[in-house]
Amino acid sequence: MTDTAIRPEGRNMLSIADPTGDTRIMWDPRIEDEVKVAREAFHKAKKRGMLAYTVDETSGEKTGTVIHEFDPQAGKIIMTKQLQGG
């Protein structure tokens, strides 16, 4: 299944996972007001200690690449709390 079933063509998505589920913010990289909203949500989640990962557009899987700055051109970003190893 491709991500276009969830994410309309031309819209990028930030998914922030939390105990209640996840918050999804979509933006068109050509619309600065939408980019601003997504960037602010990204930075707010980072302040709460969340990590951001890019998603492989073909498989829909996390790439394993942690990003530290918001990229308005990224097709999909997932943010989640860092798991602690034991």
pLDDT at 2: 41
**Per-residue burial over 1-28, b = 16 or more CB atoms within 10 Å of its CB, e = otherwise:** eebeeebeeebbbbbbeeeeeeeebbbe
User: So where are the chain's domains?
Assistant: 3-81
- Per-residue pLDDT tens digits of the chain, which is 86 residues long: 344 445 566 799 999 998 888 899 999 999 999 999 999 999 999 999 999 998 876 655 556 688 999 999 988 999 998 766 54
Choosing among 3.40.190, 3.30.200, 2.60.40, 3.10.20, the CATH entry for 3-81 is: 3.10.20
pTM attached to this predicted model: 0.79
pLDDT at 5: 45
